[in-house]
Structure 1
Amino acid sequence: MGDANNSVATAAENKTPLHPVYTISNIQNKIQTLDGVKTTYSSWVKLFKLHAKGYDVLNHIDGTEAPAKFSPTYESWVKIDAIVLQWIYGTLSHDLMRRVLDCHSTTYQAWTNIESIFLDNKKARAVALETQFTNLTLTACSSLDDYCQQLRDLAEQLKDADQPMDESRLII
């Protein structure tokens, strides 16, 4: 909390506007936890990018180069990058966070690590999801709504693996 107050005081002294990233106090209230099941990778990415764009930090996840170390904006960029990295870690399931957590990582490195977890081995992932989809039965679910939701979730995960399911298959 002290760092945020110092940033506010410094911004006021320098007459520079406070970067929007400093206005987020709890990212979990805005972005659901990525677990790959209830929240799919593609929906998490869409929501995360929406917030990154809205809070003017998209350049931290899109591969844009950091300013040079001697640049006057470098220190600010490093601080903002650390906050966005905290957003990423704060919106991952514990299992995923353990896989990507690295104290020397930049936001972009963590972003691409998560991407590779979900998008590498697409074929094997698609086969496993297709098997789950085919073998899901109504008796294995608590209700018809639960059954339909699980089918939709599996279809969304298949779409993430570049194996979209057509609407007619979902209806059948």
Structure 2
Amino acid sequence: MDPENKKDAPESSISDKPTKTLHPAYSVTNVQSKICTLDGVKVTYTSWVKLFRLHAVAYQVFDQIDGTEPPPKTAAEYQSWKELDALVLQWIYSTMSDDLLPRVLESGPTARHAWVKLEKIYLSNKKARAGRWKPRKLANQLEDVDHPVTEERLVLQLVRGLPGEYDTTASLINANNADWDLARNM
């Protein structure tokens, strides 16, 4: 390089390189300190949703639960979206009671699936929820000791346990091949 043209050459510096900033959601170390555990008794679904939404907006991940479509799997930003979604899904799982967790774990692979499942559980047929059903809890405990109970058998057991005045409801449950949540709500 010619010493006289040295001043025309661009100087490179570390500050010219783009830096990747950490997404705000990754700064959350203890989500339970900000969002109470949803148990349906001490902390109601409505209260939990309000707290969770505020948290999701503050940490810029509300689009993980509001129904916004994820980027295509082939898009460059998909991996980042997937990682944030897993983080939000962990927030959801870690802020619900032990009784509720197994029901939501079955919902699907994204935070949105878990969000919709919770909504379905709490907003579908509120009177039916008033009577707390324990067969699902027992089925989960049996699965833990390698004796899984299929959802079909669980629904069958529910229908068999209904008194005679619920014969019509039992017929509807069977005719619709209802899953556990639908059968319980019916």
**TM-score range with shorter-chain normalisation?**
0.5 to 0.7
Match of 2:41 in 1: 37
Per-residue deviation, 1:44: 0.2
Q: Point out 4+ residue stretches in structure 1 off by more than 4 angstroms.
A: 125-128
Per-residue deviation, 1:123: 4.3
Match of 2:62 in 1: 58
Q: How does 1:79-94 map to 2 (within 5 A)?
A: 79-94=83-98
Amino acid corresponding to residue 38 of structure 2 in structure 1: L
1:16 aligns with 2:20: yes
Residues 98-143 of structure 1: per-residue CA shift (max 9 Å, x gap):
1111495200000000010000012444799xxxxxxxxxxxxxxx
Amino acid corresponding to residue 67 of structure 1 in structure 2: P
The 1:81/1:14 distance shift into structure 2, 3 A limit, reads farther
RMSD: 2.0
How many residues get paired? Answer: 116
Per-residue deviation, 1:70: 1.1
Percent identity between the two aligned chains: 55
1:32 aligned counterpart, secondary structure: coil
Taking the aligned partners of 1:19 and 1:91, their CA distance within structure 2 comes to: 21
Match of 1:105 in 2: 109
Match of 2:4 in 1: none
Match of 1:75 in 2: 79
Per-residue deviation, 1:26: 1.1
2:66 aligned counterpart, secondary structure: coil
> Structure 1 length normalisation: TM-score?
0.63
- The structure richer in helix per residue is 1
Match of 1:96 in 2: 100
Q: How does 1:143-158 map to 2 (within 5 A)?
A: none
Taking the aligned partners of 1:85 and 1:102, their CA distance within structure 2 comes to: 12
The 1:27/1:60 distance shift into structure 2, 3 A limit, reads same
Taking the aligned partners of 2:18 and 2:70, their CA distance within structure 1 comes to: 23
Contiguous gaps of at least 5 residues in structure 2: 1-16, 133-186
Taking the aligned partners of 1:114 and 1:15, their CA distance within structure 2 comes to: 38
> Structure 2 length normalisation: TM-score?
0.58
Contiguous gaps of at least 5 residues in structure 1: 1-12, 129-172
The 1:63/1:37 distance shift into structure 2, 3 A limit, reads same
Residues 5-38 of structure 1: per-residue CA shift (max 9 Å, x gap):
xxxxxxxx85122100100011111100000000
Q: Which has the higher contact order (CA 8 A, sep 6+)?
A: 1
Taking the aligned partners of 1:71 and 1:28, their CA distance within structure 2 comes to: 33
